[in-house]
Structure 1
């Protein structure tokens, strides 16, 4: 296995020291450079180019987003944003994701050294995931075994009896799950949808606070309403609800209407929100009234849930390998038999409308 060379660009000496030590301790990862700002990074990259860049967004001399755009224009490279967990930081990070960053790692303002040490597994997983990303796809669209225990959706919601069948209703639901590369992929899909689109529920793996900024950004671009889900929200035509970071989102049926529950719970497949949790709830409460879509992402979250949806009578679609930034989640869903058909990213909006009888 090829060694992953990583460069850390952060004006905090503590971050550079602690992150560097975490990376150096991980098998198959090497700290190539650790520098205080993008201008120093550019000089170092003339000597040796990294496979992955860990990048702060607020730095002196040149901000992280300007540097990111420069990299993506000149030589697309996987970039993981290391951002402060604040509302302002969330807005800035949305701009970074739109510019082609692969994913986000959050850092607090206080207790930084202890936090980074405790989040070593997450940091290493983000670097490994980024190293597999088809970053040229991100650039084109832009304006190894984990250590922790891996829980299934059983930890949040028990599986429904297989014999249970649901009556069809006039209300339709689209459930979408995605991770690495999903922010730009979702933007492409959702901006193509008209106001008459069936109600949509989405899990995008993203930290707390960032999902609200992400939803607000999409809401300003789309014909449909897009917002971060609140407990009890109604799933309505022309509305997309995005699960809040740090919470699970489940679909609930009340008569012929659908609502979402936003709840606490353990990490499932090492994620909260988890695609498997959402998909299981959709299988249980919507069945054949639903369409399940699994898109670009690392790992297997959503594969088991999509199979449950298919067994419950739902239509199921995966983003195809050629259009994925990381063909992990869709690949596993196909492997397990949960996918009826795989389509390019540009065709997913048509699937949403055709499968559910909108046109």
Structure 2
């Protein structure tokens, strides 16, 4: 059975190009088009698509408002198209908060050309998000009844209900002073997941944190600034040579790799260019491998929601050097690819629901 796709964009040219690229896949069918958010809502309710592709800036009703309404009335996997600007990054993060599953950069040169790589990427992403059936939206609604989206309170007003903690395995009981570094890797669903985890950490958190989120270069600064506003700990986009210090989380910049090194008695990050052919930039595997070598036996790695298996090989080296690995459970993952790969390989010490990850990290001393 074909996946049924609704294409939403105020540009007729972009709608036609997206339709052409999707029509090239015999397993996909474009069942309708919409030119603004209101039309998107109407057609989603009427046509019941499996996936919606959604522009952000549109007349009458923008994409963010449309995502909120669709998640309220008929949760559906939504793939956003976003401009690669700072403002576009902020709007895309708002759309992900509202319930969209993932996003793709909207480059005129890519869409207007005959680039097979762009076509394959779009087709693959449609298939990857199709199975989520509005999971992101449903999770938000279940966590906050009566609200369309969940937006954490600013750092000065953070109020949290006690999370339900899953009992730890005997081998996973935290020992005082065991860890020297927390590294969190994630992809699809990660922006919202990281907000939920990091807002539970106190300002005086005793460990340094390194965040690896698959995200374009132009997005990571905006995301780090958003996290810094929401969290009690400090969050900043990592720069080459930045020290990994307690109470601060460094977010790996997009488009390059971020590693860890131990020099002069301190841990710091190194930022370096990716080699040709490396798909994930930044890479969770590379960060995990570096952390395992720089801080052997003292790393706590956490693998959250995301497509693919990035982080699995790095988790293997971490385990071989005596460090610990936690992973998010399937029920609360937007996409269970990355945490699922680690769990299936037998590399995870604990499998936790998202609402428990932050609470358990906060217990570390």
Q: Do they superpose with TM above 0.5?
A: yes
State the distance in 1 between where 2:359 and 2:309 align.
25
Do the aligned partners of 1:107 and 1:116 also contact (CA within 8 Å) in 2? Answer: no
Residues 107-151 of structure 1 show CA distances to partners (whole Å, capped at 9, x for unaligned) of 2355641286541222122212211226334443233xxxxxxxx
- Could you report, residue by residue, the CA deviation over 1:186-207 in whole angstroms, capped at 9, with x for unpaired residues? 1100000012321111111112
| Structure 1 stretches lacking a partner, 5+ long | 144-168
Kept after mapping to 1: 8 A contact 2:241/2:268? yes
**Structure-2 separation of matches of 1:113 and 1:216:** 33
Listed one character per residue, the Cα deviations across residues 79-133 of structure 1 (whole Å, up to 9, x for unaligned) are: 1110111111111111111111111101235564128654122212221221122
What is the TM-score with the length of structure 2 in the denominator? 0.85
Cα deviation, residue 21, structure 1? 1.0
* Equivalent-residue separation in structure 1 for 2:94 and 2:2 (angstroms): 30
Q: Deviations over 1:9-61 (max 9, x none)?
A: 01112211111111111242211212222222233334311111110000111
Q: Which residue pairs with 2:201 in the alignment?
A: 193
In the alignment, what sits opposite 2:273?
264
Contact residue 139 and residue 332 of structure 2 kept, 8 A: no
SS at the partner of 1:322?
A: coil
TM-score normalized with structure 1 length: 0.87
Q: Which residue number in structure 1 is paired with residue 19 of structure 2?
A: 20
8 A Cα contact 2:185 2:311, kept in partner: yes
1:229-268 aligned within 5 A: 229-266=238-275
Distance 1:321 1:85 in 2: 31
Listed as ranges, the matches of 1:179-190 within 5 Å are 179-190=187-198
Cα distance change, pair 295–286 in 1 and its aligned pair in 2 (3 A) = same
- From 302, 307, 312, the equivalent of 1:303 is 312
Following superposition of structure 1 onto structure 2, how do residues 64-143 of structure 1 map, counting pairs within 5 Å?
Answer: 64-109=63-108, 112-114=111-113, 118-133=117-132, 135-141=134-140, 142-143=149-150
**Equivalences, count:** 331
Q: Which runs of 5+ in 2 are unaligned?
A: 141-148, 151-176
Q: In structure 1, how many angstroms separate the alpha carbons of the residues matched to 2:276 and 2:125?
A: 16
In structure 2, relative to structure 1, the CA distance for the partners of 1:63 and 1:120 (3 Å cut) is same
For 2:215 and 2:204, how far apart are their aligned partners in 1?
27
User: 1:313-348 CA distances to partner (integer Å, 9 max, x unpaired)?
Assistant: 111101111221111111111122221121111221
User: What is the CA RMSD across the aligned residues, in angstroms?
Assistant: 2.1
